[in-house]
Amino acid sequence: MAPAKFDGLHLAVIMDGNGRWATAHGLTRSAGHEAGLRTARNIVEAAVREGVGTLTLYAFSSDNWKRPPAEVTALMRLFRRALLGEAKRCLENGVRLTILGRRDRLPSSLRHTVEQVEALTSSGARMHLRVAVDYSARDAILRAAMASAARGELFGREEFSAMLSSADHDRLPPRDVDLLLRTGGEQRLSDFLLWECAYAELLFVDKMWPEFTTEDLSEALADFRGRNRRFGLAPEQVAS
């Protein structure tokens, strides 16, 4: 099995604003999600060029099941079509694709496609693309804690992080988030990667996700690289 490399920062993105963008343009919410998919495709390819090592996209939260059934059904169909369409592109770009979150509530056809695409792209070593579907950070932490309790052992942070990755169907070692970016003007985490974002830099963008461009991504990464990350140290300690 090819070793996972994935050098570079971990960028996490809350892709917010598809529906509001569509409404503002007189379109259906489904059209907004279609536009959001096109943006996601462009950003994934740009992230590879920018040297991002891990890119985690928040596509569908566990709370999103509460949305109108017709919208949920359309999203599930879009996810499956996107996976089938992007698998070859990921393979060509050396991108390994992992789907995070619960799978028992996904349509069987989507679960089967997830397994196919993950197996097909498992040799990718240039970037790890993780897409969160039916995902809740709090539920994932709870599942990992329950697994720890069932084993009757106490674990340190690294061991617990590994159990958390396993709970989310990620077979690779966990990575803390370096930069979390959210579009759409909202300023909250919305139950996304709460454990992994303990020391993440946060960047909130007013643009709706379909409006977000590769130039915006470059600016966000430049902003991140200009920040002084101290991880609890005093400024003079970092400077030295």
Span 62-74, pLDDT tens digits = 999 999 999 999 9
Q: Give me the active site residues, please.
A: 16, 64
Share of the chain above pLDDT 90, in %: 77
Evaluate whether residue 234 is within a structural domain. Answer: no
Evaluate whether residue 221 is within a structural domain. Answer: yes
**What's the CATH code of the domain at 136?**
3.40.1180.10
Look at the chain and report how many structural domains it folds into: 1
Evaluate whether residue 236 is within a structural domain. Answer: no
CA 182 to chain centre: 11
Evaluate whether residue 70 is within a structural domain. Answer: yes
What is the predicted pLDDT for the residue at 34? 96
Residue range(s) defining the domain that contains residue 162: 10-227
Evaluate whether residue 113 is within a structural domain. Answer: yes
Q: What average pLDDT does the segment 140-167 reach?
A: 87
6 vs 185, more confident: 185
What is the predicted pLDDT for the residue at 29? 93
pLDDT band, residue 1 (cuts 50/70/90): very low
Evaluate whether residue 232 is within a structural domain. Answer: no
What is the predicted pLDDT for the residue at 3? 44
